Amino acid sequence: MGIIKVENIRIFANHGCLTEETKIGSDYRVDLVIKANLQASAVSDNLADTVDYVFLNRIVREEMKIPSYLLETVAKRILVRILNENTSVDKATISVSKLNPPIGGDVEMVTIKMTEKRKK
């Protein structure tokens, strides 16, 4: 097994429970940790034998474009797609952070973190 991290994917999106949040939008940070068997790709040096970072970034960007009330909903969609679309992924953990959230205080970010495992 091995781990692939894609960290600090910066995205502007329109998530939130407040009408203003979905109209104006906010800056977000997404971090992924992927657990997969990297032995084949380490030997073959072939992109088809690993989890492509471009694939991971594309899924994050596509799902973040779909407005949701909750960050949990967006995170779950991303995790499900990663596991469904790449069978070499055994486990995926995502952190989705809203930067400068409108919560009435000086808060750098709020973050939700979720993990999904492949069902055996």
* Domain chopping of the chain, boundaries: 2-117
DSSP 67-94: --S-HHHHHHHHHHHHHHH-TTEEEEEE
Determine the residue type at 73.
T
Q: What are φ and ψ of residue 45, in 5° steps? A: 60, 35
Q: How many CA atoms lie within 13 A of 90 on its CB side?
A: 9
pLDDT in tens, 5-57: 999 999 999 998 877 778 888 999 999 999 999 999 999 999 999 999 999 99
pLDDT in tens, 55-97: 999 999 999 999 999 999 999 999 999 999 999 999 999 999 9
Q: Domain 2-117 classified CATH 3.40.50.1580?
A: no
